[in-house]
Structure 1
Amino acid sequence: MEGSGRDRSSENASSSGCRSTVSNAKFEIEKFDGTNNFGMWQCEVMDVFIQQELDVALGDIPDDMTDQDWRKLNTQACSAIRLCLTKEQKYFVMRETNTKKL
């Protein structure tokens, strides 16, 4: 998953048909379109969540976190998930702001 610092989306598209990916400086995840392996996609998204310290949003609110901070973290986590979905899949969760509903 670690990238070389360059955008490899065109490289992926030419080598395997028409793949769409989401990437940043460190990680690249193939967007989930409903036909690719959900379990593998889920594992890759979880790895990115852990690296970005968003995985806490998938559990219960920590005792030492304010409601405002929790809402912000949850919104960031939902956004990260949506960025890893194709438009067709994103349609079903585009208004969600709570990871418990995703």
Structure 2
Amino acid sequence: MAATGFEIEKFDDKINFNLWQVRMMAILVQIGLKKVVTRKKLENLNQTKWEELDEKVLSAIQLCLANTIL
């Protein structure tokens, strides 16, 4: 995944999911989005900002999935 500056093999159901999941979480940490997948809506964010962060996480994960999985 070149968009983040980090490389991760796209998950295609042939590689180890647990390893891919750890690497995906590490990427989310690096781009500041881990909090979105590990917590419910943060109290100090308005709905618009929360939805924006949620969309960013979704797109980051989707970009790391093979077409057959997506």
Q: TM-score, with normalisation over the residues of structure 1?
A: 0.64
Q: What's the counterpart of residue 18 of structure 1?
A: none
Instruction: Identify which of structures 1 and 2 has the higher relative contact order when contacts are C-alpha pairs closer than 8 Å and 6+ apart.
Output: 2
Partner residue in 2 for 1:85: 65
Q: Does 1:36 align with 2:15?
A: yes
Which consecutive residues of structure 2, in runs of 5 or more, have no partner in the other structure?
none
Greater than 2 Å deviation, 4+ residue runs: 22-26
> Residues 57 and 44 (structure 1 numbering): CA distance in 2 closer, same or farther, change over 3 Å?
same
User: CA 1:70/1:27 → structure 2, altered by over 3 Å: closer, same or farther?
Assistant: same
Number of aligned residue pairs: give it: 69
Q: CA RMSD in A?
A: 1.1
Q: What is the aligned partner in structure 1 of residue 56 from structure 2?
A: 76
Q: Is residue 58 of structure 2 the alignment partner of residue 60 of structure 1?
A: no
- 1:30-63: CA deviation from partner (whole Å, max 9, x where unpaired): 0000110000100001000000001111111111
Q: Distance in 2 between matches of 1:44 and 1:24?
A: 15
Q: Which amino acid aligns with 1:81?
A: I
CA positional deviation for 1:23: 2.3
Compared CA separation, residues 54 and 68, structure 1 to 2 (3 A): same
For 2:17, the aligned partner's letter is F
Q: Unpaired segments of 5 or more residues in structure 1?
A: 1-21, 91-102
| TM-score, L = length of structure 2 | 0.92
Percent identity (aligned): 32
Distance in 1, matches of 2:23 and 2:59, equals: 16
Q: Which one has the largest radius of gyration?
A: 1
In 1, distance between residues paired with 2:4 and 2:24? 15
Please name the residue that 1:51 is paired with. Answer: 30
> Deviation of residue 25 (structure 1)?
6.2
